[in-house]
Amino acid sequence: MSGPGLSGWDRYRTLENEVFELYDKGQFDEAVELLRNAESGLAPWRSDLAHMAACVLAAAGRPTEALQELQAALTSGAWWHPRILLEDDDLAPLAELDGFTELVAEAQVRSESDPDVELDPIVTRPSGTPRGVLLALHGAGQDATDATKSWAPAAELGLVVVAVPSSQRNTPTYRSWPDSAIGTRDVKAALTTLSDADRELPLILAGFSAGGRQAVLCAIEGEPRAVGVIAMGPAVRVENLPAGTTALNGTVLLGEEDDDVGPDLEAALARLEGVEVVRIPGLGHAFPEDFDRYLSPAVGRFF
């Protein structure tokens, strides 16, 4: 699982994928064993590992052990934003157990008092004169480094790629975009780091999964003002959108095997008038290896 030369982040992501695969198969005992035998080099992800273990244990009908897993992690310094303790369906049985309310209260104190390291956006420039700026928002549990890698083909298409880190954390290491107003603030703040010349270029809002939802919502709000949006597997629901249809220029790319975008995505997309939906055969909730093949025509809509 660890593999020679893999970073701690890569080892964690490999473990996470293996646990999710076992979870989907209902192999809960195997998933718990995998998590409990995780190598010590994954200490920065202690909160995430404990949360995964608790979810698996609760799904297996072992809520008391799930609570104990969280309590042990809390004792060792872990924390979680209360939303992932209270809103996760797997952890619902824990709400009836003694000690859970106290755990959530302490987690909230820690989540509010743990100082975040302010992260700057990562900017990748094209080799020639840029023709536009693509603001790339990472998916849940990812960061600006992931967005930089995923949207790298945009730089080859002549765009300045600005990968924006979310300021919202569910754990010390897990960033996402749950509050769209805060997300919009992060996006607008990232633009202030660009030169005047770059800010005058056409702006494309882009993102993956939760970042794709945030990109779509920013484009609808017109904050910041953009020529359109490109969203890869956006986690958009009807409840996220204004009532009625909304005119929006852009492209939504969807894997035909993507089961993670939400059951009512089709209804949400139907509300976005002017958005082209492109389905990618055989793809799940991920970027295709030949992403440039799909990104090029999506970018071409704006130029």
Co-location of 105 and 188 in the same domain: no
Residue 1 lies in a domain: no
Q: How far apart are CA 296 and CA 230, in angstroms?
A: 11
Concatenated DSSP letters of 127-152:
SS---EEEEEEPPTT--HHHHHHHTT
173 with 270, same domain?
A: yes
Query: Given a cut of 60, is residue 115 above it in pLDDT?
Result: yes
- Quick: pLDDT tens for 174-205: 999 999 999 999 999 999 999 999 999 999 99
- Is there a single domain that holds both residue 56 and residue 94? yes
What CATH number is associated with residue 92? 1.25.40
Tell me the H-state helices in the chain.
8-24, 28-36, 46-59, 63-75, 82-86, 100-113, 144-150, 153-156, 180-191, 196-199, 210-221, 265-270, 291-300
- Specify whether 166 is located in the same domain as 58: no
pLDDT score recorded for residue 131: 97
> Can you give the pLDDT at residue 49?
95
> Does any domain span residue 251?
yes
Judge if 160 and 270 occupy the same domain.
Answer: yes
Residue 6 — very low, low, confident or very high, per pLDDT cuts 50/70/90? low
Domain-embedded: residue 3? no
Q: Reply yes or no on whether the pLDDT at 3 is more than 60.
A: no
70 assigned to some structural domain: yes
Assess if residue 2 is contained within a domain. no
Summary mean pLDDT of the chain: 93
Q: What whole-number distance in Å separates Cα of residue 136 and Cα of residue 206?
A: 5
Sheet with 122-124: list strands edge to edge: 122-124, 159-164, 132-137, 203-208, 228-232, 246-255, 272-280
Residue 106 falls inside a structural domain: yes
Question: Domain ends where: 83, 113, 143?
Answer: 113
Whether omega for the bond prior to residue 224 falls within 30 degrees of 0, making it cis, is yes
pLDDT tens profile 37-84: 887 689 999 999 999 999 999 999 999 999 999 999 999 999 999 999
| Statement to judge: residues 100 and 134 lie in one domain | no
30 in a structural domain: yes
CA 252 to CA 216: how far, in whole Å?
A: 9
Do 190 and 247 reside in the same domain of the chain? yes
Contact 31, 66 (CB under 8 A): no
- 204 and 99 share one domain: no
Give the residue from 113, 146, 166 where a domain finishes: 113
Q: And the tokens for 273?
A: 């008038």
Share of the chain above pLDDT 90, in %: 85
Residue 241: pLDDT over 50: yes
CATH number where 209 lies: 3.40.50.1820
Per the structure block, which two tokens stand in for 294?
């799909």
Per-residue model confidence as pLDDT tens digits over 252-296: 999 999 988 877 888 899 999 999 999 999 999 999 999 999 999
191-228 b/e with 16+ CB inside 10 Å = b? Answer: beebeeebeebebbbbbbbbbbbbbbbbbbeeebebbb
Q: How many H helices and E strands in the chain? A: 13, 9
Tokens of 140: 């849940």
272/135 same-domain check: yes
Q: Residue 102 sits in which domain range?
A: 8-113
Residues constituting the chain: 303
Same domain as 218, residue 73: no
Q: How far apart are CA 107 and CA 136, in angstroms?
A: 30
Rounded Cα distance, 71 and 225, in Å? 45
On whether both 104 and 126 belong to a single domain, the answer is no
Q: Of 80, 113, 146, which residue is a domain's last?
A: 113
Same-domain pairing of 101 and 238? no
Q: How many domains does the chain have?
A: 2
What pLDDT is attached to residue 263?
75
Mean pLDDT along residues 11-31: 93
Q: Quick one: angle between helices 100-113 and 63-75, nearest 10?
A: 40
